[in-house]
Amino acid sequence: MGLMSESIDWRLHVVTSGSGAATVTAAAGAARAGAGIVQVRAKELLAADLLELVCRVADAVAAVTSRTKVIVNDRVDVADAARRRGARVHGVHLGQRDLPVEHARAVLGPDVLIGLTAGTPELVAEAEARRGPGRPDYLGGGPFRPTPTKDVGRPPIGLAGYPVLAGLTSLPLIAIGDVQLGDVGDLAATGVAGVAVVRAVMTAPDPGAVAALCLDAWDTGVR
């Protein structure tokens, strides 16, 4: 596992949408508010354009805080290129059909942060059984509810499903899939390590303010 994983605030994982200046500004605002991870996701972009976006987001986040980790959705090659440019990019989030975790770690280095999508008991148990370089640092479990940004063809997990998944692994489990501000406190009580939020933060008039409210709701929910 990546050595940096011990220093991560897992509570709020913001996944970007869009690719313009507003995306960069929103990511920086969420980081300033305390989001522990910003994941750059723009599946519509070709590699060169995604690389530019990743570097812009990483630079904007680094300008406001050193605590937030910036990772890239799916694209190990783009994460590697950004790191070689000197951008503060810390790793990747991989789907089940992306490069295997151990291959991504071989490319990016032993200390990078690698997440893996695992939204069923079988996939969570399989990830938990892994050891060595093939063990991810955290799991993304979804969808919480049906959502166009997380259409994986599986039924939604729902609030009642997360205690089951969290109980199957010692890895941090992050709930994702149309998570809204009003859901955060309830999800915090299920045993997950954090929530991933996309539209609720990225489309808000003040993304940083919504990110801060998410963190407050999380802290209230776990008390």
We report the CATH number of the domain holding residue 158 as 3.20.20.70
Whole-model pTM: value is 0.95
pLDDT in tens, the chain (223 residues): 565 566 899 999 999 999 999 999 999 999 999 999 999 999 999 999 999 999 999 999 999 999 999 999 999 999 999 999 999 999 999 999 999 999 999 999 999 999 999 999 999 999 999 999 999 999 999 999 987 655 566 789 999 999 999 999 999 999 999 999 999 999 999 999 999 999 999 999 999 999 999 999 999 998 7
- In terms of residue numbers, what domain contains 205? 3-221
User: Distance between CA atoms of 138 and 153, rounded to whole angstroms?
Assistant: 22
State the pLDDT at residue 146: 83
Query: Number of structural domains, the chain?
Result: 1
State the pLDDT at residue 130: 97
